[in-house]
Every structure is written in C-alpha cells, then in structure tokens.
Amino acid sequence: MGKHAVTVTINGQSTDVAVDSRELLIHTLRDRLRLTGAHIGCETSHCGACTVDLDGASVKSCTVLTAQCQGADIRTVEGLAGADGLHPLQEAFFQEHGLQCGFCTPGMLMRAYRFLQENPSPTAEEIRHGMAGNLCRCTGYQNIINAVQAASGKMNQPEAESAE
Amino acid sequence: TADELERNERLGGVGCRRRRAEDARFIQGKGNYVDDIQLPGMVYGDFVRSPHAHARIKAIHKDKALAMPGVHAVLTAEDLAPLGLHWMPTLAGDKQMVLADGKVCFQNQEVAMVIADDRYIAADAIEMVEVEYEELPALVDPHRAMDDDAVVIRDDLEGQTEGAHSKRIHHNHVFTWDVGDAEATDRVFSEAAVTVKQDMLYPRVHPCPLETCGCVASFDKVKGELTVHLTSQAPHVVRTVFSTLSGIPESKVHINAPDIGGGFGNKVGVYPGYVVATVASIVLGRPVKWIEDRIENLSTTAFARDYHMTGELAATEDGRILGLRAYVLADHGAFDACADPSKWPAGFFNICTGSYDIKTAYARVDGVYTNKTPGGVAYRCSFRVTEACYFIERMIDVLAVKLGMDKAEIRMKNFIQPEQFPYQSALGWEYDSGDYPTALQQVMDACDYQGLRREQREKRERGEIMGIGLCTFTEIVGAGPTRNCDILGVGMFDSAEIRVHPTGSVIARMGTKTQGQGHETTYGQIIASEIGLPSENIIIEEGNTDTAPYGLGTYGSRSTPVAGAATARAARKIRDKAQKIAAHLMEVSEDDLEWTGEGFRVKGVPDQVTDMPKIAWAAYNNVPEGMEPGLEAVDYYDPPNMTYPFGAYLCVVDIDRYTGETAIRRFYALDDCGTRINPMIIEGQVHGGLCEAFAVAMGQELPYDGAGNIQGASLMDYFLPTMVETPYWELDHTVTPSPHHPIGAKGVGESSHVGGIPCFSNAINDALEQFGSGHVNMPHNAYRVWQTLHALKLDQ
C-alpha cells in the first residue's frame, strides 16, 4: 500500500504526514501527531467527540480520510487558546461547569467555536440544535448550553462596547 | 455561621461552588486517557468475536492471520490454559471465560486476540482468523431458563449444585436470595382489605460511557514487574486480582487508572481485554494496547438491570400500606459477573420498601443464566437500588390507582416520619436520617401540584393526554461496613493520605477513583475546611496503586460517604498534631488553644494566634520533644452504616395521541444529600443522572432476538439523547445531614438516575392508566406509547 504525502496546516503550523489511503483523520491527529485532545466515542459518526474545525467547518474527524485533507487548515482543541490565554469558550466551560469527565469536551469546544461564528448570539434553543451532533454522558447538557451562551455574551461584548 | 461561610469561600472549602481543578487540562486537550498513552515498542491487540450466541468451537485457524506482515500473535484459550487464565473469577463469585473455551455463550464473546503493529493491521488480521462453529440452541428468555428442557449453557458447572450464593436448583439457576419474614408477610396479605399485584420489567440497558474500556499492559521482563494503565473504577482491587491471577507479587504490579472518560459502573469489573492484553505483554515482552470499539462496549461489557419483577402491596382501604412482597427473576447473562459486595447477590434490592413505613415485607430474587452478555450492576444503580426504587415507586402508584387515591396523598400517608430516624426497615436496613414530607411538600408547592392535577382533568375532557409523575425515593449509598460488605474478601473501607509540605501546601491521595465526579476538586475542599489551608494549593491524586492508599474504588456513590469520611478524619489527625505543635510554639497548654478555622488562638486572648502555614513550617524544624517531625496522616475508614440520601421528583408530560410522541414539559428534582460539599458539582451530577434517567425511561434498551442476536448495540439505535431531546432541569434541595458521617455528607451521584426513571415512567403511566392501560413497561418511546394508545383506540 503506497503512502500519501499530505501537507496540512494544524493550529497554524504546516505539517507533513505520510499516510495509508484508509487512515482516518482522527488517528492521524491522535496517533501520529500526538494531538490527543480529540477523542473517539463511537464508530457510527454520532458522538462528535472527534470534532475538529476543518477549512471553516465543524467536521467529525472519524469520518474523514487524512488523504482527503491535502492543503487543509485544521484547528484542534490544542490550538484554541491564544497567546493571551484561554479562548472565551474554554473559560466559560470552566466557569459554568460545562464538563465533568472531559471526554466530550474537546469536540464540544471545537463545535461551539464554529457554531458561534455561524450564529454569534444564539438562543438556548438554537444552541441545542446547533450542537446536536455532540453527545455528552456526564452533564445533561444544561451547563454546556449555559457555557456557550456565556461565551457568546462575552465574545459579543467588545463589539457592543465599541459600538456605543 | 457567617464567619465560617466567609472563611470557606476564601479557602475554597466545604459548601462553596469551587471551580474545578480538573478543567484546565481537559479544556485544552491535555487530559491523559488510556488511548492517549503511547509506549516504545507498543503493539495493539483486538478480538476475534463470536457471531453466534451459543455454539461449540470445532476449530480456530490462525495461519492466515499469522502470515500477515505486522501480526505478532494470535492468542486463543489454548494459549491461556497453561497459565490458568482462560477463565477468570468474577466479583459475583462465578467465573467467566477470558477466551472461548470450547464453546461460546453469548454473541460477540471473545474468541481470540490478534496482536499487531497497529490497530489497522489488527483489524485486517481479525478478518483472516477462521473459526468453525457448531451452533447450539440459544436461550434468551429468562422465564424459560429453568424449564426442564432448557439448553445447558454452563457445561463447566455440570453437577455443581452449590453456587457461590446458594443451592442451585437447575442447570441454568445461578442463585436464590431472599430476605424478610415470608410467613408474616403471607399472613398480612391473606388478611388485608386491599391487595394489588403487578408484573413489571426493568429492561436491559447499558451505561455506555463515551470513552469505551481499554488498557495498555506493559510487562518489564528485566525487572519482572507489570504495569497496566486501564479504565478502572477500582484500580487497587484490580491490582490484587491481577497479582493473584498472575502470581506476580502485588508490589510488582503497578496499576494505573489515568483520566477516565466516564465510568457509570461500566468500568468496575475486569474484562477479558485487560487480561489477554496483559498475557500478550508478558509473552511478547512489549507493551500491548487494547481499546474496544462502541459496538463491542455495548454488546460485551457490563449491562444494567434486566430485572423481571412481580410486586405486591397489601393495604387498608384508606391507603395505609401493611405489607410488601417482591419476587424478581434476574437475567444475568451467561456468566454471573454482576458487581456486588460478595454477600449481596441481588445487591441492595432489599431497600425496596422505599421511603415508606411498611412493617412487614418479604423479597426473593432468583438469578438465571441466559445466552447474553454478563453484567447487571452498572449505570448509577447503587447495587440494584434503581430496580428497588422503580419497584416501590411503581407499586405505590398501582395501589393509588386501585384505591382511587391521589399519588401525592398516598405517599404522604405512608412516609417514614422525620422523628422515626434512625429507622429500621422491614428488610434490614437502618436509614440514617430523612425528612420526606417536607421535601415532597416543597416540590408540590414549587410546581403547583394541585393546579397540575386540575389541568390534567380539564385536558382529559378535551381529549388531550397529560401525565404527572412523582417519585419520592430513598437511596442507600456508601458501601460499606466491613462486617457485611466486601469485594472478593476485601472489606469495603476506603482511605485518604494527606501530607502537608513545609510551606503549607498539601498532597493528598485517596483510594477512590474519579471518572468525572470532581474528586480532585471536592476532596480538596474537605481538607481546606478541616485544616484551614486553601484548596487551590491542595493537590488530589487517585488511581495510581503505587502511591494512593488502598481503597475499594468509586461506584455506588460511595466516594463521599467512605473516602470523604476518611479525608475528614485524616485531616483531623493532622489538626490534632498541629494543635500540639501550636501549643509548643506559643508556650501554652494544648487545652488553652481553640481552633480558628485557619490555626489556633489562646482562649480569651484573641491576638495570640498562630496559623497553619507557621505550624506546617514548625512541623519540619521545631516540634515538641519526642514528637515525630513532619505533618501528615492516613485514615482507613470503615463506615458504621450506609448513607441514605433521598429526593422528591416531579415530571409533567404531554403525549401526542396520534403519534405516541412524548414531550417532557417539566422536570423538577429535589435532592437531599445532607451536607453539600460543592453545590455546583452536585447540580452537574444531578443533571447528568436525570439525562440518563430520561434516556432509560424513554428509549434505551438492548434486546436480543430469538436466536440470541443482540440488537441495537450501536449508536445507530441505542438511544443517547442529544441536547435537542434532553429536557430542561429544575433543581432544588433540602439539607438533612447524615448523623454518622464525619461531615454529615451523604452520597448523591446516582440519586438522580435512581429516582428519575420511576418519575418519568410514572408520568407516562399516569397519563395512560386513566384510560385503563394498566402498567406499561419501559422504554416509553413513541412506538411503544403509540402501541398502547392504539390498543385503547385512542389514536383514532
């Protein structure tokens, strides 16, 4: 089986990998690049624990071949915090107790990161629908919804202030 | 007091909504779960599994798999037999095949393990292993298990009439366990004015933690030492078992449970994967990783429930309950691997008299083998308390319907009253404390219960279907007193070890193991309050058996009752020593000192104070003559009793009569777990448990077809609610401390699952029974509800 040479940008860094055509992106991230934040919770593409941001979309990385990712721009949970500290979503999950075992958290965060760009000021109902591709077994979701709303409020704040 | 509250807030102590110490790593992808572990030379193991529920194995052909590049070994029972490891003991006192020994007894059972360079090659090689089977009839209906002509599942037990728990009266009989006064109960029933009887099924479901089970086993041939990283809720117990099975001294077995992506009772026992990966590592001399997939997890690891229950209540005409009789047929699958304290084969099902003062009762449970996966106790069950609670809470409703009595009123009428605690139940438990009427009244007031009943009557006249579910439960958690609770002979104590550093920071370890419940945060809060040092500088660790004190693990909501108690007691030992050091430093008598919450002051002289950091420093350089330097303590806590948290839940549902779809309009949950260490964490536990309860009551099941095929064992069908389906939760609480617990705290983690399921199911039944449906079994998914509506011609 020949290897595919694939160049991707991950969390802002260009990275070369050589993979079999059948290698799933989640395994490339976890086993090869040691970005073990993204997790595997199923094999039927339901749980969303493997969600990463790929070229501006939330993607379940267990359902993408790495060989399909030539030239892609990928962000994982490890790249969410910036130079000036945690992303407001990370801070909000912490403040609102939006995680317990932490296994769904990286996927939740990466989905919320994209979702809040799609819908910067969502209602609770919109969050429930917008994040329905991510399963959580610990939280009963309520605090996750609170966290996404809190982050949305915080992220919209500077704009609101400058508009005043 | 206000001072105490302020201090606890400042120290991050008991009662405050301290943000979690765990979160920093998890929100940045820096947790360390088993599959994150990579070791030099590590290879991957995975199973060839049985397509049949019941079959003899005629031959296993490994050659093609072994010939594949990257494949190192294919292990079968033959390879394990010389080590005596083709079978393993279970927590229930039975044994379980590690790899199929001549036959398979449930579908997806482990037949062979392939070891390969990576998981992709392992998966290929599994396909190349050929197994020849001779099919046998499958037994799936537990009600037929003890028929004369029922197929023999356990050939290995042939002729054994004595099981681990009782005489065996049939080749598929596991045990009979009973408790209570049978004769007195029969008498009550023969004389009672009113009796009701109801069959009900608590269906087989699965805890389905988002992270499946897995391990990395690494045997160091040079040192003769074994290290296993694994998804275990009870790592010390695993070490003892692995040492016993392998013959490697316990000091040379290093078990490490790292971060665990949820357990929910699924990760208590030992699975074949752990054993075979370990054997493979010993054979190959290199690390072996085994990580199961979701379908394997759902179809071969510990299921929950599968209790077929018949309930009876005897009462007066005005609704005073006089007697209770319970009979349970328990489907345990092919091997009894049900996780229980060893003397309790039906767990604590005998809490089934619930929150009610029922003087006379009798319960009997018969366990049977079927061609299904082993398990039974898992998924926030507190050792069968889920079943016990469902049993009594449904029976109360059945009795209310028979009497035409309101469901809140019948509960109020039969509650154990606050002044009756400690209360001795008819089936043997001594409830520690409770105030049930206050709790239920608080819920009824908050939800305008009378208004809801009015609305329900009005709706019914308009042809709309609305149900109101109540559940007033009593939990039993914190196993438990070593006089009657042990796991494979080890008493069910737990432990804490606290060490104060010279500069006043702390490392502390416990014998429990968090799987998300926030122990790294909350144990620190207990210590902070007890010894007056800020919790932010207290590191909590669990799971590494080399460093943590021996404990029995985390399940049965036992962490707070047992290790939480040990933590407070160990901290108090430190405080006692600190007082002696403080007396020495301040040149006064120990008796002249009083605790300030952060140090000691001389009684009556408020400005003569010394604080814990000063005392900690002195402990390392200036202790009284004859005293050991240092400041640390250990406590192994043997609890005098369980803790008995309780709750009052209310649920309102609206049912679409044409589709059978149910909308959860409202769910209100009041929990009382005594002293609340961290309200934020408790609320998260309750949310999670209620979400599970919703799933179990409304959609989850793991059915088997007549041929023994497990059905719905993937997320294609197995109902895990998303945010869209999950209801909004309203929470409330009262505080009734446990009198015997060092800080008055009771366990709580499983309460919401235990109490939530009957509340949902009671709401559905409440909606339907007015039309004469009788009891309807879970799950109450749209199709099932529609079937009931259709049978009653309500959908037309």
B2 in reach of chain A (CB within 8 A): no
For residue B166, pLDDT beyond 60: yes
Is B260 within 8 Å of B513 (Cβ atoms)? yes
B130 in reach of chain A (CB within 8 A): no
pLDDT tens by residue, B146-156:
999 999 999 99
Rounded to 5°, the CA angle B383-B385-B387 comes to 110
Sign, CA dihedral B338-B344-B346-B352, equals negative
For residue B794, pLDDT beyond 50: yes
Residues A7 and A65 in one domain: yes
Distance from CA of B287 to the nearest CA of A (A): 15
φ, ψ dihedrals at B17, nearest 5°: -85, 60
Q: Is B417 a catalytic site residue? A: no
Residues A44 and A12 in one domain: yes
Residue B574 is encoded by which pair of tokens? 């430190």
Using the structure block, give the residue that is written with the tokens 């006692």: B576
For residue B792, pLDDT beyond 90: yes
Q: What is the pLDDT, as a whole number, of residue A159?
A: 54
Listing DSSP states for B701-747 in one string gives ---B-TT--B-S-STTTS----TTTSPP-EEEE-----TTSTT-B--
Residue B53 CA: distances (Å) to CA of B105, B107, B136, B192, B765: 6, 4, 8, 46, 34
Residues 6+ apart with CB under 8 A from B448: none
Interfacial B residues in 194-223 facing A (CB < 8 Å): 208-212
pLDDT tens by residue, A55-87:
999 999 999 999 999 999 999 999 999 998 999
- Rounded Cα gap, residues B730 and B668, in angstroms: 5
Among chain A residues, the shortest Cα distance to B259 is held by A101
For residue A160, pLDDT beyond 60: no
Catalytic residue among B575, B750, B759, B784: B750
Question: Per-residue confidence at A163, pLDDT binned at 50, 70, 90?
Answer: very low
The burial of B184, by beta-carbon neighbours within 10 Å (0-12 exposed, 13-18 middle, 19 or more buried), is given as middle
B628 in reach of chain A (CB within 8 A): no
A143 in reach of chain B (CB within 8 A): yes
- Rounded Cα gap, residues B394 and B415, in angstroms: 15
Q: To 10 degrees, the CA torsion angle through A123, A128, A133, A135? A: 130
Beta bridge partners of B75: B113
Distance from CA of A164 to the nearest CA of B (A): 33
Do A41 and B210 count as a contact with CB atoms less than 8 A apart?
A: yes
Do B259 and A101 count as a contact with CB atoms less than 8 A apart?
A: yes
A24 in reach of chain B (CB within 8 A): no
Mutate to test the interface with A, among B694, B722, B729 (most CBs of A within 10 A): B722
A26 part of a folded domain: yes
Rounded to 5°, the CA angle B55-B61-B62 comes to 125
Nearest to B217 by CA among B202, B196, B232, B199: B232
Among chain B residues, the shortest Cα distance to A101 is held by B516
Residues A149 and A117 in one domain: yes
A68 part of a folded domain: yes
Nearest residue, CB atoms, B27 vs list A38, A109, A131: A109
User: Beta B71-75 vs B110-116: how paired, if at all?
Assistant: antiparallel
Catalytic residue among B16, B208, B338, B381: B381
Is B743 within 8 Å of B623 (Cβ atoms)? no
Name chain B contacts of A47, Cβ cutoff 8 Å.
Answer: 210, 294, 715, 720
What CATH number does the domain containing A45 carry? Answer: 3.10.20.30
For residue A108, pLDDT beyond 50: yes
What CATH number does the domain containing A120 carry? Answer: 1.10.150.120
Do A141 and B29 count as a contact with CB atoms less than 8 A apart?
A: no
Encode B99-168 in three state secondary structure.
Answer: CCCCEECCCCCEEEEEEECCHHHHHHHHHHCEEEEEECCCCCCHHHCCCCCCCCCCHHHCCCCECCCCEC
Q: To 10 degrees, the CA torsion angle through B67, B73, B79, B80? A: -150
Residues 6+ apart with CB under 8 A from B426: B180, B181, B324, B353, B358, B359, B360, B361
Rounded to 5°, the CA angle B519-B520-B521 comes to 85
Residues 6+ apart with CB under 8 A from B77: B86, B97, B98, B99, B100, B101, B102
Question: Per-residue confidence at A164, pLDDT binned at 50, 70, 90?
Answer: very low
pTM: 0.98
pLDDT tens by residue, B28-51:
999 999 999 999 999 999 999 999
pLDDT tens by residue, B305-326:
999 999 999 999 999 999 999 9
Among candidate residues A49, A79, A109, the one where a domain is terminated: A79
3-class DSSP assignment, residue B451: helix
Using the structure block, give the residue that is written with the tokens 């308390």: B385
- Rounded Cα gap, residues B543 and B233, in angstroms: 8
3-class DSSP assignment, residue B371: coil
B259 in reach of chain A (CB within 8 A): yes
A148 in reach of chain B (CB within 8 A): no
B69 in reach of chain A (CB within 8 A): no
- Rounded Cα gap, residues B312 and B47, in angstroms: 45
Nearest residue, CB atoms, A101 vs list B38, B260, B715: B260
Name chain B contacts of A41, Cβ cutoff 8 Å.
Answer: 210-212, 261, 294
Among chain A residues, the shortest Cα distance to B684 is held by A139
Catalytic residue among B96, B107, B109, B233: B233
- Rounded Cα gap, residues A102 and A80, in angstroms: 16
3-class DSSP assignment, residue B69: coil
Query: What's the ipTM?
Result: 0.98
B606 in reach of chain A (CB within 8 A): no
Is B427 within 8 Å of B180 (Cβ atoms)? yes
A103 in reach of chain B (CB within 8 A): yes
Do A142 and B729 count as a contact with CB atoms less than 8 A apart?
A: yes
Do A102 and B687 count as a contact with CB atoms less than 8 A apart?
A: no
Mean pLDDT (chain B) is 98
Is B507 within 8 Å of B574 (Cβ atoms)? no
User: Beta B506-510 vs B538-541: how paired, if at all?
Assistant: parallel
Name chain A contacts of B715, Cβ cutoff 8 Å.
Answer: 42, 44, 46-47, 135
Residues A114 and A55 in one domain: no
B744 in reach of chain A (CB within 8 A): no
A107 part of a folded domain: yes
Nearest residue, CB atoms, B31 vs list A102, A131, A135: A102
Total domain count for chain A? 2
Residues A63 and A37 in one domain: yes
Among chain B residues, the shortest Cα distance to A140 is held by B688
Residues A75 and A137 in one domain: no
Nearest to B733 by CA among B336, B439, B338, B419: B439
Q: What mean pLDDT is predicted for residues B112-124?
A: 98
Do A94 and B728 count as a contact with CB atoms less than 8 A apart?
A: no
Residues A72 and A94 in one domain: no
Counted residue by residue, chain B has a size of 796
User: Beta A73-75 vs A51-54: how paired, if at all?
Assistant: antiparallel
A123 in reach of chain B (CB within 8 A): no
Residue A150 is encoded by which pair of tokens? 């809190």
Mutate to test the interface with B, among A33, A80, A101, A148 (most CBs of B within 10 A): A101
Residue B356 DSSP code: B
Among candidate residues A51, A79, A107, the one where a domain is terminated: A79
Among chain B residues, the shortest Cα distance to A144 is held by B723
A25 part of a folded domain: yes
Name chain B contacts of A34, Cβ cutoff 8 Å.
Answer: 38
A163 part of a folded domain: no
Q: What domain range includes position A148? A: 88-156
For residue A24, pLDDT beyond 50: yes
3-class DSSP assignment, residue B194: strand
pLDDT tens by residue, B359-418:
999 999 999 999 999 999 999 999 999 999 999 999 999 999 999 999 999 999 999 999
For residue A158, pLDDT beyond 80: no
B4 in reach of chain A (CB within 8 A): no
Do A38 and B29 count as a contact with CB atoms less than 8 A apart?
A: yes
Residues A10 and A52 in one domain: yes
Among chain A residues, the shortest Cα distance to B380 is held by A138
More confident residue, A162 or B205: B205
Is B12 within 8 Å of B534 (Cβ atoms)? yes
Residue B627 DSSP code: P
Residues A116 and A148 in one domain: yes
Q: What is the pLDDT, as a whole number, of residue A157?
A: 84
Which secondary structure element, helix H or strand E, spans residue B598, and what is its range? none
Among candidate residues A25, A59, A79, the one where a domain is terminated: A79
Q: Is B750 a catalytic site residue? A: yes
User: Beta B646-655 vs B465-474: how paired, if at all?
Assistant: antiparallel
A162 part of a folded domain: no
Residues A112 and A62 in one domain: no
For residue B173, pLDDT beyond 50: yes
B687 in reach of chain A (CB within 8 A): yes
Is B220 within 8 Å of B319 (Cβ atoms)? no
Residues A35 and A57 in one domain: yes
φ, ψ dihedrals at B205, nearest 5°: -130, -175
Residues A71 and A98 in one domain: no
Chain A to chain B Cβ contacts (< 8 Å): 179
Nearest residue, CB atoms, B211 vs list A38, A46, A103: A103
Residue B311 is encoded by which pair of tokens? 């309930």
Determine the angle formed by the axes of helices B751-769 and B782-791, rounding to 10 degrees: 30
A122 in reach of chain B (CB within 8 A): no
A18 part of a folded domain: yes
B689 in reach of chain A (CB within 8 A): yes
Nearest residue, CB atoms, B19 vs list A78, A81, A94: A94
Is B734 within 8 Å of B443 (Cβ atoms)? no
A130 part of a folded domain: yes
φ, ψ dihedrals at B562, nearest 5°: -105, -65
Distance from CA of A160 to the nearest CA of B (A): 27
Beta bridge partners of B309: B200, B328
- Rounded Cα gap, residues B377 and B375, in angstroms: 6
Q: What is the pLDDT, as a whole number, of residue A1?
A: 58
Is B645 within 8 Å of B747 (Cβ atoms)? yes
Residue B253 is encoded by which pair of tokens? 């077995």
